[in-house]
Amino acid sequence: MLNLSRNHITGHIPENISRLHQLSSLDLSSNMFFGVIPRSMSSLSALGYLNLSYNNFSGVIPFIGQMTTFNASVFEGNPGLCGAPLDTKCQGEGLDGGQKNVVDEKGNGYLDEWFYLSVGLGFAVGVLLPFFICTFSKSCYEVYFGFVNKIVG
């Protein structure tokens, strides 16, 4: 746990804050921090409490990973911040809220659509394909549904 609130600290949050793997609570509120919120903070999986309110942070909130678990109150009082979960949209942000093209912490871009496509294909290949093969082959049908009957029964 790290609470540095109300200390008039200036500066920025270092990018290597992600090395604090076991950090469960971080309160930097009511200081004079500035700059962008590091994308690496989204990899702090143990972080259950965060308060960055009333500083001078600016730019887009890295609303990915662990950062998606926090609401707008965590970021209030930073007039330069924009993006989810705040109501303030970033310049050039489309109707999808800027969430369509997500970038992971290593900077590799991927689209949400590819994720859902791969889940659908994985289901089809892993479940539906064997089911259809077994329905057309009597020996496969007997083995497969015999196994299912043993498990269910």
Backbone angles phi, psi at 99, to 5 degrees: -100, -5
- Report the distance separating Cα 24 and Cα 132, nearest Å: 48
pTM value is 0.59
Instruction: Give the architecture (CATH level 2) of 2-92.
Output: Alpha-Beta Horseshoe (3.80)
Is-contact 39 105, C-beta < 8 A?
yes
Instruction: Say whether pLDDT at 32 is over 70.
Output: yes
pLDDT for 13? 94
Instruction: Say whether pLDDT at 116 is over 70.
Output: yes
Q: Where in the chain is the domain with CATH 3.80.10.10?
A: 2-92
Is-contact 24 46, C-beta < 8 A?
yes
Q: How confident is the model at residue 94 (pLDDT cuts 50, 70, 90)?
A: low
pLDDT for 52? 96
Least confident stretch, 17-31, 40-54, 84-98, 100-114:
100-114
Name residues whose C-beta falls within 8 Å of residue 75's C-beta, 6 or more positions apart in sequence.
Answer: 52, 53, 57, 61, 81, 85, 86
